[in-house]
Structure 1
Amino acid sequence: MRTFKLQVQVTADGYMAGPNGEMDWMTCPWTDDLNAHIDALTAPVDCIVLGRRLAEGFIPTWAAGPEGEDRASIDKMNNTPKVVISRTLTASPWENTVVSGDLAGTVRELKSRPGGDIIAYGGGTLVRDLIAQGLLDELHLFVNPTAIGAGMPVFPHTDAYQHLRLVTARPFDCGITALHYEPKRP
């Protein structure tokens, strides 16, 4: 079965965005060691899962070839098939992308297909729903050395604990620390 992993940047106090969606707290320029880590994480990926709101910025940004990104990363992001989870879209306005409103069913179907890893980048509602429904195999949290005090939390507010097993913790030259967790399943 394919591995479904989450990659998300977070603040030191566990938020992926400020109260109004601000992401200005991400001020660490990525260093070569972090880029190499990301390349290794995404190398086996052959499917990207996004929430609608993130997809609306993510897909056009990569299609335009963002300044400062190498050609291989741009090609990987553009050529990798995408699934956008949305309650409002019924068809994809983007090339190489399908839309689904059934999160759990879509994830189960994707994981049952042959292929490489699947990665989710967000947004906030999607990330919290994936965690709450126990759909992820790995969580890769890239912790930025900034605390913002309030905002959009990575983890959903539930009545149950989210038990995780730390696989690795790796600091990078830029100040970001990558935490790789796996959910502890009963």
Structure 2
Amino acid sequence: MRKLKLQMQLSVDGYVAGPNGELDWMTWNLDDGLIQFINDLTDSSGTILLGRKMTDGFMNYWEGVVNNQPESPEYPFAKKMVDTPKVVFSKTLPASKWTNTTLANGNLADEIANLKNQSGKDIIVYGGAGFVSSLIKEGHIDEFNLFVNPVMINKGMRIFDLADKRQKLSLMDTTAYPCGITVLRYQLARE
């Protein structure tokens, strides 16, 4: 069975975006060690999950790099983002308009179970906040990769507020990187 892994940027005070989705607080000058960790995490995954609200910005950005900036240092990673199959969860879209992307609009638990039962590499979810909150609430995320940025933004969007019961996690490891980001890796403790 494939694992569902979360990769999410957080502020020290637990926000994943500003009140209007702002990401200007994130650390952008990543060091080589963190870039390698991100590449390894991405390479261990054969499917990307996204919520509908995040998909436009995500796809426009990475497709823009692939189509217009082949000399960019982001190009190899952007190519992975475009080439990796993506599943967008939406109750309102009738069809996908993005490259290498399918829609999932059924029951969340059934859709996730179906994806996890497919063969292949693990699954990674990047967001958005509401979609990730739903996955956390229902206990679907197997591994949490939380990128804690050295900033407090004091208000904004969170991902843990919908949880209505305790979920025990087991620490896998923690790594502080020179750029200031500390990656906390947890797995959901299955009982």
TM category, shorter: over 0.9
Q: Do the aligned partners of 1:140 and 1:179 also contact (CA within 8 Å) in 2?
A: yes
Q: Do the aligned partners of 1:14 and 1:153 also contact (CA within 8 Å) in 2?
A: yes
SS of the residue 2:175 aligns to: strand
Give the RMSD, CA atoms, in angstroms.
1.4
Separation in 2, partners of 1:177, 1:19: 23
Match of 2:63 in 1: 63
Separation in 2, partners of 1:164, 1:71: 35
Q: Do the aligned partners of 1:28 and 1:175 also contact (CA within 8 Å) in 2?
A: no
SS of the residue 1:72 aligns to: helix
1:77 to 61, 78, 81: 81
Aligned length, in residue pairs: 186
Q: Do the aligned partners of 2:130 and 2:159 also contact (CA within 8 Å) in 1?
A: no
Match of 2:173 in 1: 168
Structure 1 residue 25 corresponds to structure 2 residue 30: no
- The superposition leaves residues 73-124 of structure 1 with CA deviations (integer Å, 9 ceiling, x where unpaired) of 1221111000000121121011211111232211111111111011000001
Q: 1:1-186 maps to which residues of 2 (within 5 A)?
A: 1-65=1-65, 68-102=72-106, 103-186=108-191
CA positional deviation for 1:53: 1.1
Q: Do the aligned partners of 2:46 and 2:122 also contact (CA within 8 Å) in 1?
A: yes
The amino acid that maps onto 2:83 is N
CA positional deviation for 1:154: 2.0
TM-score, length basis structure 2: 0.92
Identity of aligned residues (%): 45
CA positional deviation for 1:179: 0.5
